[in-house]
Structure 1
């Protein structure tokens, strides 16, 4: 079964759809015939997304607002697929973490996944046709990185939440998986590392350090790999794949 066959006519909600991975997924899914609901808190990002693909349905909401988010998800009707992509992270030493930083990371990376998935799953169960939920996690759920303690904690929680959701939603034919990503080459990374001068040097240092831990030999995961892995996991091609934390990191977490 091709992606086109699997997603054509399906209703898909993507959080964090304004930039990066979420945007790439929204564009690909709209291209292959899915009915895409793109959720982001940045209206200008949504507008540029719709300009590029007019069939996409934009939803502007702050995931930290529980009630507004629930209403936004309910407005999509019955969904077939939910892709929880939205996430934030701050590089802060453990001793300098503030309640504000803690709350933002946990609210968006974990609490919003609960809210969006819970609301969508209730609709799927009522409709009686099952569905698929994919949560974007990180290699940091399994490997500690300096100055990323709360981000890592939030992603470890997402992985365990994924397993718990699988256990409770499986009886309703709802599959739940997470994708543990390594570094993904996005416009943000490109701006950071290829601006010339010290940026170039920082990229070389980063790449040399990280590649030592990646058997596949590349410092970043190509966006196409991310899109294909998420779509395969979410698709009807994988009817028995559920409760998995799938590492897409070039082998980083086996070293």
Structure 2
């Protein structure tokens, strides 16, 4: 069964849907596969632009750092079949300079918000009695240390472990939970990362260091590959997969 057949008529909530990977997922699911997509972002302008391109998207504008506001926004939604916890921020700070606010923002967005959103959505799935599927979008930074990004790396490693514990507890309700760890993807967040490391002038050097450790050679993942993998893991084509982590990095973590 094709992915289009897997998702046609199904409903999916995507966090961080205003830009980058989340936006690409929303457009594929809504425009190509005919799914009902609840697109969550903290930026109304991003949601407006997404809605213009993908008219069937149902926007949810809320700041995931606000625990109670997030729960309130999600409580009003119908039960969904699938959830993609995609929202994330980087937060570059050397370890010795990490501030309390920066720590709370990164952990709050990348890890705590996934707990909050998943709690509300899973309770709805359980009440509906139809099971469900969740994909947590993580990073190879949760497996390989990245200087000046210790909090980001920690948040992604934590999300991988959260995935496993969720899978153990929610399996009895026929809810599958998996994570997909990604390498470099050209998104607004990655562009910001490049700028922090000296801008486009240093991009070749940055990518060369990644390419040297990437057996498949390309240091930047094609967005279609990212979307295809996440949706395969989310779909019933992987119906007996749960508690697993799928790495998409061209082989970087194998070296």
- Shorter-chain TM range is over 0.9
Q: What are structure 1's unaligned runs of at least 5 residues?
A: none
Matching residue of 1:144: 145
Q: What are structure 2's unaligned runs of at least 5 residues?
A: none
Q: 1:165–1:176: 8 Å Cα contact kept in structure 2?
A: yes
Report Cα offsets for 1:201-220 as digits up to 9, x if no partner.
Answer: 31110111111111111111
Q: Distance in 2 between matches of 1:249 and 1:134?
A: 17
Structure 2 SS opposite 1:62: coil
Matching residue of 2:167: 166
- Give the TM-score taking structure 2 as reference length: 0.95
Q: Distance in 1 between matches of 2:177 and 2:192?
A: 33
Structure 2 SS opposite 1:220: coil
Q: Shift of residue 245 of structure 1?
A: 1.0
Matching residue of 2:228: 228
Q: Shift of residue 11 of structure 1?
A: 1.0
Q: Distance in 1 between matches of 2:117 and 2:190?
A: 28
CA spacing shift, 1:191–1:99, aligned 2, 3 Å: closer
CA spacing shift, 1:58–1:105, aligned 2, 3 Å: same
Q: Distance in 1 between matches of 2:193 and 2:176?
A: 36
CA spacing shift, 1:190–1:95, aligned 2, 3 Å: closer
Matching residue of 1:49: 50
CA spacing shift, 1:217–1:154, aligned 2, 3 Å: same
Report Cα offsets for 1:208-254 as digits up to 9, x if no partner.
Answer: 11111111111111111110001000001110011011111111111
- Bigger shift: 185-194 or 33-42? 185-194
- Give the TM-score taking structure 1 as reference length: 0.95
Matched, 1:99 2:100: yes
Structure 2 SS opposite 1:134: strand
Matching residue of 1:73: 74
Calculate the aligned-residue CA RMSD, in Å. 1.4
Matching residue of 1:3: 3
